[in-house]
Amino acid sequence: MNTTTTLPAIPLPPGIRSRFVGDINGLRMHVLEAGFETHGRPGVLLLHGFPELAFSWRKVMPALAEAGYHVIAPDQRGYGRTTGWDGDYDGDLASFRLTNLVRDALGLVSAFGYASVDAVVGHDFGSSVAAWCALLRPDVFRSVALMSAPFAGPPQLPFDTADQPPQPKREDPVHRELAALPRPRKHYQWYYSTREANADMQRAPHGVHDFLRAYYHHKSADWKDNKPYPLKSWSAGELAKLPTYYVMDLAKNMAETVAKAMPGAAVIAANQWLSDRELSFYSAEYQRIGFQGGLQWYRCGTSGEFTAELQIWSGRTIDVPSCFIAGKQDWGIYQRPGVYEAMQQSACTRMLGAHLIEGAGHWVQQEQPAEVSRLLLQFLKQATVQAQ
């Protein structure tokens, strides 16, 4: 079990406090909070992704609080200073499935005294949780902003098959085909599902700090080869066009993959969006607890074990006001071919905008916080008007 005794202070901007909230679906949740000084403010819930923490929202929270919101950003299940989760590779994987992550979010807003919040905002894997929050409990999560990871809707049930012969469960051939390419490759989500992935990163040869510096740099707009475009299909030939942080060389682990993109000292010193002091907080937390808690989320998806549960909502759409925000240099928009388009055309019925921000890669709320804050406040205003 990860411990929270004698932990160092978090390098937070003024107006944000760190606190713990107990008895949240079996968790003691660590939460960053802004706009807590006065009661009766509308609530906004911010959900981070991998490998990040509630800390990733530090530059957006003050602007939302200044606009009159009570802003709540937890370390999600498996992350940071939140405790009560099972981080064993052979432990309770089911507790990390999407419906239970929604239950975590629901419990947290309820603990803060909210029957509903004005918005749930999710980045990266947090975008998936935010999408499911809005789909399952639109009465509680009255609007949703998805960031960096688009949402295609729930998995579909087999349709009109009563008179067809039973079909054996098919394995996705793309993994075998990726491995058979002239330059053999593998998909990062399936790598993240392996037993070795956590140790590869937590015991990276150059240390967690340098591993995270290279990882964050590689997926940011600072890495000049991030020039994303839509892929034509979920096929080995198309997926191989993705950078190696998504479709890796078969023989390399993630630490080896991103080491090639390690920026030099001058680039690190010039970084305005993630100072070495800020990175040191991330690296200390991941050195302390490891990456397995976050990796369990990927395992839930790649295993297919919980697809049947999600098919309960097959055909359902997100009907609350929604928007999408990502960096223009973020390959995450297109890593699943067709999903960005499906989100706008069918999965979200009241989408108020899809915004791609110049000068940002995957870590959009850290790389371009002022523009993200502006777009979120614009969206919150539009969503409130729509609800009246």
Per-domain residue ranges for the chain?
A: 16-155+306-387, 174-295
Q: Label the pairing between strands 16-24 and 27-34.
A: antiparallel
The widest CA-to-CA distance across the chain, in whole angstroms, is 66
Structure tokens given for 267? 């680039």
Residues ≥6 apart with Cβ < 8 Å to 165: none
Structure tokens given for 347? 């999965």
pLDDT score, position 388: 65
Q: What is the pLDDT of residues 184-237, one digit of tens each?
A: 999 999 999 999 999 999 999 999 999 999 999 999 999 999 999 999 999 999
Helix, strand, coil shares of the chain, percent, nearest 5, are: 40, 15, 45
Write phi, then psi, for 176 (nearest 5 degrees).
-65, -40
**CA 107 from centre of chain:** 19
Task: Give CA–CA dist 326/219, Å, rounded.
Answer: 12
Structure tokens given for 269? 């010193």
- Residue 361's H or E segment, with its range, is none
Q: At what angle do helices 125-136 and 98-111 cross, to 10 degrees?
A: 70
Q: What is the pLDDT of residues 26-65, one digit of tens each?
A: 999 999 999 999 999 999 999 999 999 999 999 999 999 9
Residues of the chain with pLDDT under 70: 1-5, 388
Whether the upstream peptide bond of residue 150 has omega within 30° of 0, thus cis, is no
pLDDT score, position 378: 98
Structure tokens given for 282? 């991330």
pLDDT score, position 5: 62
Question: Which residue in 186, 252, 215, 244 sits closest to 362, CA to CA?
Answer: 215
Q: Is the dihedral of CA 158, 164, 167, 172 positive or negative?
A: negative
Task: Give CA–CA dist 19/35, Å, rounded.
Answer: 14
pLDDT score, position 167: 83
Task: Assign a CATH topology to domain 16-155+306-387.
Answer: Rossmann fold (3.40.50)
